Chains A and B, each alone.
Chain A
Amino acid sequence: MSTYAQKKGFGATVWDFLTTVDHKKIAILYLLAGGLFFLVGGLEAVFIRIQLAVPNNDFVSAGAFNEIITMHGTTMIFLAAMPILFGFMNAVMPLQIGARDVAFPFLNALGFWLFFFGGVFLNLSWFMGGAPDAGWTSYASLAIHSKGHGIDFYVLGLQISGLGTLIGGINFLVTIINMRAPGMTYMRMPLFTWTTFVASALILFAFPPLTVGLVLMMFDRMFGSNFFVVANGGNTVIWEHLFWIFGHPEVYILVLPAFGIFSEIFSTFSRKRLFGYSSMVFATVLIGFLGFMVWAHHMFTTGLGPVANAIFAVATMAIGVPTGIKIFNWLFTMWGGSVKFTAPMHWAFAFIPSFIMGGVTGVMLAAAAADYQYHDTYFVVAHFHYVIVGGVVFSIFAGVQYWWPKIFGTMLNETLGKLTFWLFFIGFHMTFFIQHFLGLWGMPRRVFTYLPGQGFDTANMISSIGALFMSLGVIVLLINVVVTSVKNVKVGDDPWGDGRTLEWAIPSPPPFYNFKQLPLVRGLDAFWIEKMEGKKGMTPAEPLGDIHMPNASFLPFVIAFGLFIAAFGALYNGEHSWAIPVIVIGLLVTFGSMLVRSVKDDHGFHIHKEELMDDNDKGVKA
């Protein structure tokens, strides 16, 4: 890090991040924005639990409660969990396959800004006349009749951020197919890269149905069409199908990368090769495929008929098989390994029983006949929080702790990390375990309050106290981040000492070109192989040469901002005279900047061999 690492002022840093096309900086943007939305969604969750803590509560009104649960679900899935996982994918996946960047750095930035503006647009609804209030699934029969602009914010915001996600997913696919380092065959890819690959394929196939559904909804609500309006010959069930054809793969888009993160952590801290690597890959791909054949299990009570219900019930239960393979592989990875209980390992360890509980209730819900009893009760709420929080959110906390040194070059405090874990782990089970029983006792989900004396009082209070513990856990994590950043103790390439994959073979944080020379990969856990043979680093696969890098660009921001403007026009179409001009202006900004991008040649720049050699002389790192 010689001439490139200059001290920069605050404004210059901001401008740097606004225009960056570097996958590591975009990763930080994803983590920042996703983290912010995670706090917003968490705050909404706390409001929900305060409202439900005691019977007959009037902390929020019934209407506001609907808005809060809708925004909690939507924010957590689309704006928190997925972007944070995208952050990890961006930060780590190119390093793990030995690439200098993703395949399309410009599109990578565009994907982020689309997600960001979509998310901001969605959340502006709070200040502009009310948030969406038809649940995160926004079933058409309810959403069509929702007053105000809430659902319009949902439709337009998700459309914009979904575009960004789709772009990001395609980018990752192309990167993994085309940019692996010499020797990095498919069956040598670390499991996090594999799960990124499969999750991106799911994004590629799952987001178009959502896009279609949202377009139909947009026309129904804003331009007077009747796709879902039953009175005029529409069919409201089609929305449910379209939503869940997207929605079910969506939960695998979330949980597969989580599996990948845990696979890395298990093998790193068991100091052992991942048990059954090829069966892990097989199970990942199989889960991806099966994910598209089960969506109707969300609609058992819609009235699809016994044949359809039976088919989807059996298909759903089949998913338990590859997931079970994974669970056993993780257990056997730890078996006989020399396990180190670091903070990330705490999360990974706790993930197994937590996720199994979510899986077991999943199979219970998959039994279509029994589902008539569970449907729309707190049992379902408990189930999906067990898989999403116990799987995805645990993996996010684990990943933050595990990859923080690689992303920021400093080590998060282990003790505070473990404190976060215990607070959150206890809080999580306290909040959601009791909700299984609340559901079985008959408490329906999505109600804003309940009457005393139905046997729900104590259980709800316990659940709300659990939410307090989870909040404390998150606050400790924030303190940890601040303390670590202020202390700013830099760490070396492989701070855990047990790194197996390529990202640990280069400095933390990596230089902006990642690899001075592309590494030669000689097997699974490439870096571990070299370490076991007593080498300090990877064997280069190429002589030192000029490196071609892309130029930074402000255009991705402008393109996304144009759609953000146009969305306001669409929102107020037919109400204000300025709506149409605003749509036109917004689209002009977007397509204008796309035109600029197309006609202006931007060949990037080269880092010359001599500058890279300079770096070598500055002292060799261990």
Chain B
Amino acid sequence: MANQQTNSGNPRVDHEYRRRKSAEEMRYQVVSFSLMIFLTLVAFGAVAMKGSAWFTVPFIILLAVVQVVFQLYYFMHMSHKGHEAPSLFLYSGLLVGLITILTFMTIIWW
């Protein structure tokens, strides 16, 4: 369903279209890969600067979130069709987890 194979032996597969799609995909992957390396360097830089922890910690966490999104959407193909159920469960799990963390931060460890 989700991961249709191009080498399916189906004579009606438009190879030209598939090739163009794959090239595009490859470009996105390379771009996001270099962005991820760049973001990692920025994160290291932020720590090396020895600024206030109130800036560094949220900043690094933000970068981490961006990287997770890149990872999921460009490398694990969540941007493709047929991933509705996995995304629903990922986001529900995230919601439940974040509510838990929020509660713990506010009423146990405050």
Contact = CB atoms under 8 A, between A and B. Distances in A.
Are A and B interaction partners? yes
Interface of A: 173, 177, 201, 204-205, 209, 235, 237-238, 241, 245, 289, 292-293, 296, 304-305, 308
Contacts of A237: 108
Contacts of B89: 173, 201, 204
Contact of A205 (B93, B106, B107): B93
Contacts of B100: 209, 241, 245
B108 A205 contact: no
A292 B96 contact: yes
Contacts of B93: 204-205
B92 interface: yes
A241 B108 contact: yes
B73 interface: no
A620 B84 CA distance: 42
5 contacts: A201-B92, A205-B92, A238-B104, A241-B108, A296-B103
B49 interface: no
Contacts of A289: 92
Nearest to A174: B85
Residue of B89, B103, B108 with most partner-chain A CB within 10 A = B103
Contacts of B103: 241, 296, 308
B66 interface: no
A377 B100 CA distance: 28
Interface string B57-93: 0000000000000000000000000000100010011
A308 B107 contact: yes
Contacts of B108: 235, 237-238, 241
A527 to B, nearest CB: 26
A289 B94 CA distance: 12
A282 to B, nearest CB: 15
Nearest to B109: A235
Residue of B92, B103, B107 with most partner-chain A CB within 10 A = B107
B37 interface: no
The 4 tightest CB contacts between A and B, nearest first, are A292-B96, A308-B107, A205-B96, A177-B85
Contacts of A238: 104, 108
B100 to A, nearest CB: 6
Contacts of B107: 296, 304-305, 308
A100 B96 CA distance: 33
A525 B52 CA distance: 62
A173 B86 CA distance: 11
- Which secondary structure dominates where chain A touches chain B? helix
A245 B97 CA distance: 10
A201 B92 CA distance: 9
Nearest to B104: A241
A308 B85 contact: no
Nearest to B93: A205
Contacts of A292: 95-96, 99
A114 B47 CA distance: 46
Nearest to A205: B96
Contact of A293 (B85, B99, B106): B99
A238 B100 CA distance: 11
A570 B85 CA distance: 39
Contacts of A235: 108
B84 to A, nearest CB: 10
A237 B110 CA distance: 13
Contacts of A308: 103, 106-107
Nearest to A240: B108
A91 B109 CA distance: 46
B51 to A, nearest CB: 31
A177 to B, nearest CB: 5
A221 to B, nearest CB: 22
Contacts of B96: 205, 292
A238 B105 CA distance: 12
A241 B89 CA distance: 23
Given A201-B92, A205-B96, A292-B96, 19 more contacts: A173-B89, A201-B89, A205-B93, A209-B100, A235-B108, A237-B108, A238-B104, A241-B100, A241-B103, A241-B104, A241-B108, A245-B100, A289-B92, A292-B95, A296-B103, A296-B107, A305-B107, A308-B106, A308-B107
A223 to B, nearest CB: 24
B104 to A, nearest CB: 7
A241 B92 CA distance: 19
A289 B88 CA distance: 12
B1 to A, nearest CB: 8
Contacts of A205: 92-93, 96
Nearest to A235: B108
A227 to B, nearest CB: 13
Contacts of A209: 100
Nearest to A303: B107
A305 B104 CA distance: 13
B13 to A, nearest CB: 23
A231 B48 CA distance: 38
B83 to A, nearest CB: 11
Nearest to A302: B107
A526 to B, nearest CB: 22
Contacts of A245: 100
B47 to A, nearest CB: 28
Contacts of B106: 308
B87 to A, nearest CB: 12
Nearest to B106: A308
A245 B102 CA distance: 13
A131 B103 CA distance: 33
A352 B56 CA distance: 56
A305 B106 CA distance: 11
A204 B99 CA distance: 16
Contacts of B99: 292-293
Contacts of A305: 107
A158 to B, nearest CB: 20
Contacts of A293: 99
